[in-house]
Amino acid sequence: MTDRRRIVLSSDHAAIPLRQAIAAHLAARGCEVVDIGPVTPESTPYPEHGAAAARRVASGDCALGIILCGTGQGIMMAANKVKGIRCGVCSDTFSARMIRQHNDANMLSLGARVLGEGLALEIVDAFLNAEFEGGRHATRVGMIDALEA
Ligand code: RB5
């Protein structure tokens, strides 16, 4: 089934080739890709790019976001400072599925210096193919969101 969701992508300088591979993969799935860069390889601070992508998701402009830096950690920390964002770093497909099913994650973070392209694309698919299960998990996610109040 074609995936027509609108998905924002961003990274810092450490992850441009992997981000571009993910953009092509998302387009092949049928997604509307909003790739907000950067495109040139100069050093650029990951907090700016994580926050910019997170704001696209938090505003409702994009359904989900995928962000990358060297480890995936710094850009995830920045994204999670934006109200309404639940972003996890994943280096395996199980975690990528579970952060959707149990945590209703709306952003995925990847480490370009951690993952090869093949595994990264499988992690992206695991994230996008999973659905939030609701129920008792909704109560717990609500508790996370309440911490922002
Ligand atoms: C940049 O050198 C690096 O610190 C960044 O990509 C990321 O790994 C930070 O968490």
Q: Are 81 and 51 in contact (CB under 8 A)?
A: yes
Residue 1 lies in a domain: no
pLDDT above 90 for 1: no
pLDDT digits (tens, 9 = 90+) for 102-124: 999 999 999 999 999 999 999 99
How many other C-beta atoms lie within 10 A of the C-beta of residue 30?
11
What is the CATH classification number for the domain harbouring 102? Answer: 3.40.1400.10
- Which range of residues forms the domain containing residue 30? 6-146
- Name residue, tokens 């998302």: 26
Q: What is the 121 CA–ligand 1 centroid distance (Å)?
A: 20
Within 10 angstroms of residue 11's Cβ, the number of other Cβ atoms is: 31
- Tens digits of per-residue pLDDT, 38-79? 999 999 999 999 999 999 999 999 999 999 999 999 999 999
Strand partners, 35: 9
Q: How far is the CA of 90 from the centre of ligand 1 (A)?
A: 15
Does 75 reside within a domain?
yes
> Does 149 score more than 90 pLDDT?
no
What is the per-residue pLDDT for 92?
99
Structure tokens of 142?
A: 């609500």
Q: Which of 31, 49, 62, 69 is an active site residue?
A: 69
Q: Which of 13, 25, 102, 137 is catalytic?
A: 102
Query: Which residue puts its alpha carbon closest to atom 5 of ligand 1?
Result: 70
* Pocket, ligand 1, Cβ cutoff 6 A: 12, 14, 46, 69-71, 73-74
Instruction: Please tell me the distance between residue 82's alpha carbon and the centre of ligand 1 in angstroms.
Output: 19
SS (H, E, C) the chain: CCCCCEEEEEECHHHHHHHHHHHHHHHHHCCEEEECCCCCCCCCCHHHHHHHHHHHHHCCCCCEEEEEECCCHHHHHHHCCCCCCCEEECCCHHHHHHHHHCCCCCEEEEECCCCCHHHHHHHHHHHHHCCCCCCHHHHHHHHHHHCCC
**Bridge-partner residues for 68, per DSSP?**
11, 110
Active site residue 31: no
Asked if 25 is an active-site residue, the reply is: no
The tally of domains found in the chain comes to 1
Ligand 1 centroid–CA 113 distance in Å is 9
Give a yes or no: residue 104 inside a domain. yes
Model pTM? 0.98
In a domain, 23, yes or no: yes
Q: From atom 7 of ligand 1, which residue's Cα is the shortest distance away?
A: 70
Mean pLDDT, rounded, of the chain: 98
**pLDDT tens-digit series, residues 5-23:** 999 999 999 999 999 999 9
- Residue tagged 């994580």 (tokens): 50
Residue 59 CA to residue 66 CA, distance in Å, equals: 15
